[in-house]
Amino acid sequence: MGSSGLISERKSKVESISLTQLFERECPYYMSYGMSFNEYWYESPYLAKFYREAYKLRLRHEDTFMWNQGMYIYEALCDVSPILHAFSKKGTKPLQYRNKPMLETSTDLQTEKEKAKAKEIKQKNEQLKARIFFENWARRTAEHFNK
């Protein structure tokens, strides 16, 4: 058999899978995404696309949640580690655990930085206004005495 025999053999394998079989095989996956049987079979095909995208977003959110949880556990272990050391001195205490969640703390820091920057800009503007006022006053006074 030549190469044409292989091509026809491949075609027959590909053509042997019907669309019905393909959709039946995929149905449980979409149902695991939260899509109902009726939505999968009888509603718009775009609905399946949106369920798949929503599932990917949920996975991304869960991954971020678990990563943040790991950061909290890591930080807690680091804070308690001074007393876990075998040769730690008597009376050693663990470091204090954070008072606020990480995201709240970082937002507070950013807000404080923004407030400080705004205050600094306002102060510079006030100094500039005062300088301009004084220079104008000095110029008018000098012009008045020169006449």
pLDDT in tens, 86-124: 777 888 888 888 888 777 766 666 677 888 888 898 898
- Asked whether residue 22 carries a pLDDT value surpassing 80, the answer given is yes
Tell me if 125 sits within 8 A of 95, measured CB to CB. no
Looking at the domain assignment, is residue 65 inside a domain?
yes
- Answer yes or no: do 20 and 73 share one domain: yes
d(CA 48, CA 23): 11
Which helix H or strand E contains 58, and what residues bound it? helix 45-84
User: How far is C-alpha 68 from the chain's CA centre?
Assistant: 11
Q: Check residue 1 and give its pLDDT.
A: 47
Give Cα separations from 119 to 102, 114, 124, 125, 126 (angstroms): 26, 9, 9, 10, 11
- Answer yes or no: do 25 and 88 share one domain: yes
Looking at the domain assignment, is residue 4 inside a domain?
no
Domain that holds residue 85: 12-97
Between 102-146 and 45-84, two packed helices, what is the crossing angle to 10 degrees? 90
Looking at the domain assignment, is residue 1 inside a domain?
no
How many separate domains does the chain show? 2
Q: Indicate whether this model's pTM tops 0.75.
A: no
- Asked whether residue 49 carries a pLDDT value surpassing 60, the answer given is yes
Looking at the domain assignment, is residue 127 inside a domain?
yes
